[in-house]
A and B are shown apart, each in its own frame.
Chain A
Amino acid sequence: MSVPRHWREIPKRYRLIGSKCSNCGRTYFPPRNVCRECGTTKLEEVKLSETGRIITWSVVHEPPRGFERYVPYVIAIVELDDGTRLMSQITDCEPEELQIGTRVHAVFRKIREEGESGIIYYGYKFKPIK
């Protein structure tokens, strides 16, 4: 991702801001301009719930560039308490600790780094609630 694109997406990535269809109420992350459910374009920004549960997950051993330091890591589909489904890394846990339905909450973490000299990309991840 380029630095300008990262910069434009900062509020969404930092604070879990999605979009909500003002017709049918469905919420999306990342935010969308058109509702997949009812096709309207009347969507507004909404702060999403910071707690949810794991729907499914997998362990990444062959990471894309910039993620090498974090291997192996867990990527999961999380259903937030407001019903939004999104993809997120799960942190502070081993894959063995996870089950379908494990309760998680959002945390602010480093997502990736461009080597020693490039920019550090921050954003949300989820971690199991003890």
Chain B
Amino acid sequence: MTKEAGIIGYGAYIPIYRIKAQEIARMWGNNNGHVPIMEKAVAGIDEDLVTIAVEAAKYAIRRAKIDPREIGAVYVGTESKPYAVKPSGTIVAEAIGATPLVVTADFEFACKAGTEAFHACMDHVLAGRMKYAMAIGADTAQGRPGDQLEYTAASGGAAFIFTKKSDKTLAYCEGAVSFVTDTPDFWRRAHEHYPMHAERFTGKPAYFHHIVSSVKTLMETTGLRPSDFKYAVFHQPNAKFPVKVAKMLGFTLDQIKPGLLSPEIGNCYAGSSLVGFAATLDVANPDDRILLASYGSGAGSDAFSFVVQDTILEKRNPIPSVRSLISERKYIDYSMYVKFRGKIRA
């Protein structure tokens, strides 16, 4: 019996609308030109977490070439649920045709909610509880108008279908770690529209400490070194942090390049590292090893080592690559952005 879980299909989705960070800076009179990314992806007026999750999930099913009725779990990791009470997962499961014999839930853990669902999905399939399990990380993140987060809070997501490792899977997981502590770096109280963040916590003791700890633990338990990996993907709250954490851990720019998307799409929270992982799988070859390390405020980091399999070569077309999703874009100005995001309240 195999002891490893594999990925049989994945799909990403990024809305077509973009706003340039300079346009947001212009709105708030921040003319010194220091913006944390170039532009970010904005959900269209008829898009939300659910529609983004469904599009990513549909691409994942097409790539997996499986009957959606055989998916035993649909987990949606997010912090942008359209309903405060009513699971997003039920709508997603219905839309992809996985209902009614399916376990579904929304996972919450800031930006690591999607990778948190990876752990559950892998355990489900390894236990033989179900043939396939789907983990989605997606968000339509919002920052308070004028807040630093407004530059980066973006929309997008990715879906991954797990099953037992076989010659049909395109990559398998050889190690998984979750590193969690109680760290109040970022929060949103019930009934508040926008999150709060504690500046002194967002960098060193939060993002860097947790990712470094999860990745180092993964390295210790697997005996791997950074040079054993072809690629690495880190959570991307801005353009700088993932580059810095890669350096701290001994990874090069070449290793993180294919999955480093925050300069072009922003931080799509629970979708951030997962869209980067999807973009990396798009270019990876058999036997390549990929490190995936998420970060979720609150706080914690999941670290995984995936090994790419031969089947990856058959799984490329005709599903659009993350690169092609990024290149299909339409720019909007701040007034259109306000209309799209329903940001009349401040």
What is the interface of chain A, defined by CB distance below 8 A to chain B? 10-11, 14-15, 69-70, 89, 91-92, 107-111, 120, 122, 125, 130
Contact = CB atoms under 8 A, between A and B. Distances in A.
A125 B94 contact: no
Contacts of A122: 50-51, 91, 95
A125 B51 CA distance: 11
B116 interface: no
A10 B92 CA distance: 12
A54 B82 CA distance: 31
Contacts of B50: 108, 120, 122
Contacts of B95: 14-15, 108, 122
A15 B83 CA distance: 21
A110 B47 contact: yes
Nearest to A94: B330
Given A89-B46, A108-B51, 19 more contacts: A14-B95, A15-B97, A69-B342, A92-B330, A107-B55, A108-B55, A109-B44, A109-B47, A110-B46, A110-B47, A111-B46, A120-B50, A120-B82, A120-B83, A122-B51, A122-B91, A122-B95, A125-B46, A130-B328
A33 B46 CA distance: 31
Q: Please indicate which of the listed interface residues B46, B47, B48, B83 has the most CB atoms of chain A within 10 Å of its own CB.
A: B46
Interface of B: 16, 44-48, 50-51, 54-55, 58, 82-83, 91, 94-95, 97, 328, 330, 342
Contacts of B342: 69
A92 B47 CA distance: 10
A4 to B, nearest CB: 16
Given A14-B94, A120-B83, A92 B51 contact: no
A70 B342 CA distance: 11
A55 to B, nearest CB: 22
Contacts of B97: 15
Contacts of A130: 328
Contacts of B16: 92
Given A11-B94, A92-B16, A108 B54 contact: yes
Contacts of B58: 108
A9 to B, nearest CB: 12
Given A108-B55, A122-B51, A91 B44 contact: yes
